[in-house]
Amino acid sequence: MQFTCLVILMASNAVGVLSFCFELLFVILQLPFSSVLPSSTTQGFSIQEATVYDLQLAFQKKQLSSKQVVEFYQKQIETQNSVLRGVLELNPDALAQAEKADEERKSKAPGSLSPLHGIPILVKDTITTKDKMNTTAGSFALLGSVVPRDAGVVTRLRKAGAIIIGKATLSEWSHYRSVAAPDGWSARGRHGKNPYTMDSPCGSSSGSAISVAANLVAVSLGTETDGSILCPSDSNSVVGIKPTVGLTSRAGVVPVSPRQDTVGPICRTVADAALLLQTIAGIDTNDKATIIASKYIPKGGYAQFLRKDGLRGKRLGVLRYFYAFGNDTFLHETFELHLKTIRERGAVLVDNLEIENIDEVYSGPSEGIAVAFEFKSSLNAYLKDLVASPVRSLADVIAFNNKHSKLVSAWEYGFEKVMIGNKLDAVVVPCASFSSVLAIGGYPGVTVPAGYQNAKPHQDHLQYHMLPCTVYTIIAKHKQIGTLTSATLVNPSHNSRVPRVHPLSRATTHRMARA
């Protein structure tokens, strides 16, 4: 089975962006509303494929408890994780936290709790949690280390009443241990599997995407330096948002590049991603970049911008540089269909745009050289801040891996010129191919599924996993922040979502269109 992924990459050289995109996104992907799969509670509610909205409604109707949700996902993980390897470890206190959430719900007035209250969330194993779980970036070198505090985003999740159910697998050290290592591999987690195809899940936030796609959890957090949210979300047919750098705190996250690192949601629906993003966005005094970015966060959060008419009047640029599909008529026809749909929904498409010096981003060494320098200094600072750790520097980590080998600028100007000169709200690009442009400039991006093809998969890796996707990149005029507004595209020929296919899955029904 091949599938198409609709990717939405948004750019904003200042910060916020995510308000325009939620209107945009809500019109770019119509995602499922309720599911008719097995695994129902005694009250008849099915947890499998349920969204945050579904779960909260079931809580209100007393059809479901947080404890039941946690138990369901723990069982899913027990059954499927030995094959998929999306989850690295579970939180031994998750059930106790769920019981606490259930008691709080009984004593609080309806509507007074956060939308994420009592919802289990999986976080990437680079995001620190001050609890009984490890934070190791997938490496045995950090096993047993003690972190000084929760990561900034985890603090916000706990305050909202969310339950950290466990840590997701990843490409070790966010795919910075070795360029030769396969996507989704780490010494601790071994090799994660794409639940659709049972091969590469892309990375580095592989486990976060695998787990959401396979119903091991409803929502998750990943991190991105260059493509690490967008690519696995693309490959595993889920929704990923790469926020503008500084919109979400990186404090307490194992770093790669302070200039490019960001933390964002990986979910099954745009609506869930919006809820998770508005929960984790905001000021953290331990990350100075959030202070500047916070002034662009819309009052009331991002979910308010989930509107079906969000594309009307928006100017979207089409960068044909990324549409070189060759003789693959399926890809060409699918993307043209999406562009037609976008026009029909009221957007103005500015076609055949070009970014000056775009080849420098993809063929030049500048980004790699800069990130290599930043990785060493930022990782050393992170390791020194740990309360206890087997390693205290990058040199220590390299020595550990050697000892235990068996275990283990021109572009920016051109981009802004295209956006501002054409008065664009977004740029439309296929798949995660635009990630380097966004990464270097700190711009945000969103990826959402676009459709499926029921045919024998091509043997070529890229064709096999990364069939049609569409990317929207948003940059505000004069470097001010655009507001990400919604996103839901109705694909006329693909109005249902194909379930994940792997040996242990019983999922047999399509995801129905969801607003």
**Both tokens assigned to 400:** 């550990």
Determine whether 35 is an active site residue. Answer: no
**CA angle, 508 then 514 then 515, to 5°:** 175
Active-site residue, from 35, 46, 66, 124: 124
Q: Whose CA is closest to 200, among 242, 223, 240, 234? A: 234
pLDDT band of 2, cuts 50, 70, 90: very low
Per DSSP, the three-state class of 223 is strand
Tell me how far apart the terminal alpha carbons of the chain are, to the nearest angstrom: 26
**What is residue 417's predicted lDDT score, i.e. its pLDDT?**
83
**What is residue 26's predicted lDDT score, i.e. its pLDDT?**
52
**What is residue 275's predicted lDDT score, i.e. its pLDDT?**
97
366-386 pLDDT tens trace: 899 999 999 999 999 999 999
- The count of residues in the chain is 515
Determine whether 124 is an active site residue. Answer: yes
* Cβ-based neighbour number of residue 388 at 10 Å: 9
270-328 pLDDT tens trace: 999 999 999 999 999 999 999 999 999 999 999 999 998 989 999 999 999 988 887 77
CA 182/CA 191 separation, integer angstroms: 8
164-185 pLDDT tens trace: 999 999 999 999 888 778 899 9
Looking up tokens 């008691």 gives 103
- Return the beta strands (E) in 194-307 as ranges: 219-224, 239-242, 262-267
**CA angle, 300 then 121 then 51, to 5°:** 65
Q: Rounded to the nearest 10 degrees, how much is the dihedral formed by the CA atoms of 461, 466, 468, 470?
A: -150
- 133-153 per-residue burial string, b: 16 or more CB within 10 A, e: under 16: bbbbbbbbbbeebebeebbbb
CA 239/CA 234 separation, integer angstroms: 8
Quick one: CA dihedral 102, 104, 110, 116, positive or negative?
negative
Contact (Cβ atoms closer than 8 angstroms) between residue 260 and residue 228: no
Q: How far is CA 426 from the centre of its chain?
A: 19
Single pTM value for the model: 0.83
Report the run of H or E that residue 226 belongs to, with start and end: none
* Cβ-based neighbour number of residue 368 at 10 Å: 10
315-331 pLDDT tens trace: 999 999 988 887 778 88
402-433 pLDDT tens trace: 898 776 544 455 677 888 899 998 887 887 87
**What is residue 483's predicted lDDT score, i.e. its pLDDT?**
32
Active-site residue, from 204, 220, 233, 389: 204
452-473 pLDDT tens trace: 665 433 333 222 222 333 344 4
Residue ranges and CATH numbers for the domains of the chain are 52-306 (3.90.1300.10), 414-456+465-474 (no CATH)
* Distance (Å) of CA 240 to CA 79, 249, 329, 449, 512: 25, 17, 26, 10, 19
